[in-house]
Amino acid sequence: MIKANDPLLSSWIEVPGNSDFPIQNIPFGIIRPKGKDSRPATRIGNMAIDLSALCDAGYLNDLDLDDLSVFYAPVLNDFISLGKPVWQAVRQKLSGLFNVNNNDLKDDEGTLKLALYSVDEVEMMLPVQVGDYTDFYSSIEHATNVGIMFRDPANALLPNWKHIPVGYHGRSSSIVVSGTDIHRPKGQTKADDADAPVFGPSRLFDFELEMAFIAGKKTALGERITTAEAEDAIFGMLLFNDLSVRDIQKWEYVPLGPFLSKSFGSVVSPWIVTLDALEPFRVKGPRQDPPVLDYLKYTGHKNIDIKLEVSIQPEGREENIVSNSNYKYMYWNMAQQLAHQTVNGCNINVGDMYGSGTISGPTPDSYGSMLELSWKGTKPLKLSDGSERKFILDNDAIIMRGHTEKDGVRVGFGEVIVKVLPAK
Ligand code: CA
* pLDDT averaged over 10-residue windows placed end to end, the chain, 424 residues: 93 97 98 98 98 98 93 98 97 98 97 98 98 98 96 94 98 98 98 97 98 98 98 98 98 95 98 98 97 98 98 98 98 98 98 98 98 97 98 98 97 98 98
Contact status, residue 388 vs residue 168, Cβ threshold 8 Å: no
Tell me, in angstroms, the distance from the centre of ligand 1 to residue 330's CA.
Answer: 13
Tell me, in angstroms, the distance from the centre of ligand 1 to residue 6's CA.
Answer: 34
**The predicted structure's pLDDT at residue 1:** 78
Give the integer Cα–Cα distance in Å for 171 and 165: 19
Q: What are the residues facing 206 on neighbouring strands? A: 244
Tell me, in angstroms, the distance from the centre of ligand 1 to residue 403's CA.
Answer: 20
| CATH architecture classification, 133-421 | Alpha-Beta Complex (3.90)
Contact status, residue 157 vs residue 140, Cβ threshold 8 Å: yes
Alpha helices in 118-232 (DSSP H): 140-150, 227-230
Tell me, in angstroms, the distance from the centre of ligand 1 to residue 355's CA.
Answer: 7
Tell me, what DSSP letter sits at residue 99?
Answer: B
Tell me, in angstroms, the distance from the centre of ligand 1 to residue 398's CA.
Answer: 16
Cα 331–chain centre separation: 17
Give the integer Cα–Cα distance in Å for 214 and 236: 6
Active site amino acids:
142
For ligand 1, a single-atom ion, which residues have Cβ within 5 Å?
A: 135, 208, 242
Give the integer Cα–Cα distance in Å for 127 and 177: 8
Give the integer Cα–Cα distance in Å for 251 and 188: 7
Query: CA 354, 356, 359 angle in degrees (round to 5)?
Result: 160
- For residue 92, give the H/E element and its range: helix 84-97
Tell me, in angstroms, the distance from the centre of ligand 1 to residue 32's CA.
Answer: 29
Query: CA 373, 354, 326 angle in degrees (round to 5)?
Result: 40
Give the integer Cα–Cα distance in Å for 137 and 161: 9
Tell me, in angstroms, the distance from the centre of ligand 1 to residue 167's CA.
Answer: 9
Q: How distant, in Å, are the alpha carbons of 39, 41, 56, 60, 112 from that of 50?
A: 7, 5, 10, 12, 10
Alpha helices in 37-76 (DSSP H): 51-56
Tell me, in angstroms, the distance from the centre of ligand 1 to residue 138's CA.
Answer: 10
Tell me, in angstroms, the distance from the centre of ligand 1 to residue 290's CA.
Answer: 25
Give the integer Cα–Cα distance in Å for 112 and 33: 14
**The predicted structure's pLDDT at residue 114:** 97
**pTM metric for this prediction:** 0.97
Tell me, in angstroms, the distance from the centre of ligand 1 to residue 228's CA.
Answer: 26
**The predicted structure's pLDDT at residue 332:** 98
Give the integer Cα–Cα distance in Å for 227 and 221: 18
Domain boundaries, the chain: 29-125, 133-421
Phi, psi values for residue 169, rounded to 5°: -85, 125
Tell me, in angstroms, the distance from the centre of ligand 1 to residue 358's CA.
Answer: 5
Q: In 10 A of CB 347, how many CB atoms?
A: 14
Residue 70 neighbours by CB under 8 Å, 6+ apart: 40, 78, 79, 81, 82
Please classify residue 112 by burial: count the beta carbons closer than 10 Å to its beta carbon, then call 0-12 exposed, 13-18 middle and 19+ buried.
middle
Give the integer Cα–Cα distance in Å for 399 and 270: 13
Phi, psi values for residue 125, rounded to 5°: -110, 165
Q: Which CATH number fits domain 29-125: 2.30.30.230, 3.30.465.10, 3.30.70.270, 3.20.20.60?
A: 2.30.30.230
